[in-house]
Structure 1
Amino acid sequence: MNNLEGLIQQHQLKRHPEGGWYRELHRSTALVQRPDAAKRPGLTAILFLLPKDEISCWHRVVGADEAWIHIDGADLNLFQCKPDGSGLQETSLNRNNPLHVVPGGCWQAARCDGSYALVSCCVGPGFDFADFEMLRQQLESKRPVLPHPELI
């Protein structure tokens, strides 16, 4: 068993639709109501493992901010664009810069600079797959043009 397989087993991770591996660690029992009237847990938190040869494809969480927190491993390169695809920001998460928050509705993607990156992702109001969109699942005619097409 290699180190990556060991981490997956140790943390009981499963495949994430955007790429990588995850496990939910926390889901608040307290519900909050968003401005669009949707009710969600106040906060959710996951562990997310991104191996070297995988990407976290362009995706977004509508109606909730997502905080990425570096825990272990190599640098994680995080990409972010506004909902219309403009304003590319690139952030490297590591022990010297462990936290970055992606505002709700913004597109985001990630890749790892080494063998793996282990992060926590906290979403508030809490994550629900009903609010999750992957760019590659949208009709091409409706997709915003985002940089780094290799991340689709």
Structure 2
Amino acid sequence: MNHHNQEYWIEKLNLQSHPEGGFYAENYRADGVIPKNSLSERFTGSCSYSTAIYFLLTGSTFSAFHRIASDELWHFYDGDPLSIFFFDEVGNLHEKVLGIDIEKNQFPQVIIPAGVWFASRCQNPNGFTLSGCTVAPGFDFADFELAYADKLSNQYPQHKELIQELTRQ
């Protein structure tokens, strides 16, 4: 496989800065729409059936703790392994690694369930990770919530240090 650097991918995929950190470009939004009255109450409005983005994180940044109303499926494309941290419904912290070295407990796909707080960072501080994120029902910024460090730390005090590292507000 021919590995490229982050500048190559940012240029070729026309990636823009993402509010949670890193770079992204939406590359798919299904034509079909699910009406609000067919969705659970956690959604603020109608949603596309599905959406997908390219998402690139550099080693010098991170994707801050946030949550969305849908399941999110991450796909590994290029670069270094990515650590994805999330809290389950009973408050346990988990780390899944997006990558292609199965022997090192990495996975080419990682699923983050709807409504859980999660954050991610590249394992190589001098590297990058190019991934894809598929969301169904489709992503809408109205259903996106960034975590506040203090509030999340109060909820999960045993993980305060990691939360401080991976939040911006």
TM-score w.r.t. length of structure 1: 0.88
- Counterparts of 1:131-146 in structure 2 under 5 Å? 131-136=143-148, 140-141=150-151, 144-145=155-156
Task: Report the residue type matching 2:115 in the other structure.
Answer: G
Aligned position for 1:17: 19
Report what 2:74 is aligned to.
68
What residue is the counterpart of 2:60 in the other structure?
A: 53
Measure the CA separation in 2 of the matches of 1:134 and 1:83. 18
The normalised TM-score by structure 2 is 0.80
What count of residue pairs does the alignment treat as equivalent?
147
Report the equivalent of 1:6.
Answer: 8
Task: Work out the CA distance in 1 between the residues paired with 2:5 and 2:55.
Answer: 15
Alpha-carbon distance change, 20 to 141 in structure 1, aligned in 2, over 3 angstroms: closer
- The structure with the greater share of residues assigned to helix is 2
Give the aligned partner of residue 150 of structure 1: 165
User: In the superposition, relative to structure 1, how do residues 141 and 47 fare at CA in structure 2: closer, same or farther (>3 Å)?
Assistant: closer
Q: Is the 8 A contact 2:58 2:128 kept in 1?
A: yes
Q: Which residue of 2 aligns with 1:82?
A: 88
Tell me how far 1:46 sits from its aligned partner.
0.1
> By how many angstroms is 1:6 displaced?
2.1
Paired AA for residue 111 in structure 1: R
Structure 2 counterparts to residues 106-121 of structure 1, below 5 A: 106-114=116-124, 115-121=127-133
- Do the aligned partners of 1:83 and 1:105 also contact (CA within 8 Å) in 2? no
Q: Relative to total residues, which structure has the larger strand share, 1 or 2?
A: 1
Instruction: Give the percent of matched residue pairs that are identical in Structure 1 and Structure 2.
Output: 35
* RMSD, aligned α-carbons: 2.0
The answer for unaligned runs of 5 or more in structure 1 is none
